[in-house]
Structure 1
Amino acid sequence: MSANASTFSVTILEKEYQVACPPDQQAELLLSARHLDEQMRAIRSTGKVIGLERIAVMAALNISHELLQTRNGVSTGNAKDSGKANATAEKSGEVADPAGLSSLNAKLDEALHQLRQLEIG
């Protein structure tokens, strides 16, 4: 970190963290912390993932997935293709899932289930 970085406090899942950050990036830090907190709360609320570390890893995976989709233009750049997928899904009465998030979530759920089985055994 640069010499002009200050320490700022962020709260994530009722825990306070001190983070070094340049003053001109404090707003982005607070937005990032809020986004992470929301992601972690959503994961915790499902009751499928137990433990702060595992919740944090799952949130990191979800956020990384979103970032990669955005970089690859899946979420923002392919509006034309997404529109076609949404229109097709609406006609068939399904919910569109152009990014395959349902499949990814199912795989993650299965991996967590297997991990729990290993811990129990």
Structure 2
Amino acid sequence: MSSSNSVTVQILDKEYSIICPQEERSNLVSAARYLDGKMREIRSSGKVIGADRIAVMAALNITHDLLHKQELPDVQASGSTREQVRDLLERVDLVLSSDTEQPKG
């Protein structure tokens, strides 16, 4: 594939070159900006350290938001998916916070 099909995006101060159809470039750039913003929010909170952990937390938060929006039209829904995601986020937060409290060696 030629480099004309490639888009370079910057996420958390790193550049990524991604092959993408011309008609999807705008969506890809928007998605990268959104992800970058979420990752910067998490990093600035100081609760999560390390790009890989920040990326996982951002992915979980974005997934949580997506699932929440999908459930909104059905007001009668039990909310079990939302509760499962919330529980998962709490467990990940707990593990990550306990990991950052341990001295690095």
* Equivalent position SS for 2:16: strand
- Shift in Å, 1:54: 0.8
Partner AA of 1:110 in structure 2? L
Q: TM-score, normalised by structure 1?
A: 0.64
Please name the residue that 2:94 is paired with: 110
Which structure 2 residue ranges, 5 or more long, are not aligned?
77-81
What is the aligned length? 99
* Equivalent position SS for 1:8: strand
Please name the residue that 2:48 is paired with: 49
Q: TM-score, normalised by structure 2?
A: 0.73
Between the aligned residues of both structures, percent identity stands at 41
- Shift in Å, 1:114: 2.9
Which structure 1 residue ranges, 5 or more long, are not aligned?
82-98
Partner AA of 1:59 in structure 2? A
- Shift in Å, 1:62: 1.2
Higher-RCO chain (CA-CA 8 Å, sequence separation at least 6): 2
Please name the residue that 1:89 is paired with: none
Preserved contact between residue 35 and residue 58 of structure 2 (Cα < 8 Å)? yes
Please name the residue that 1:10 is paired with: 9
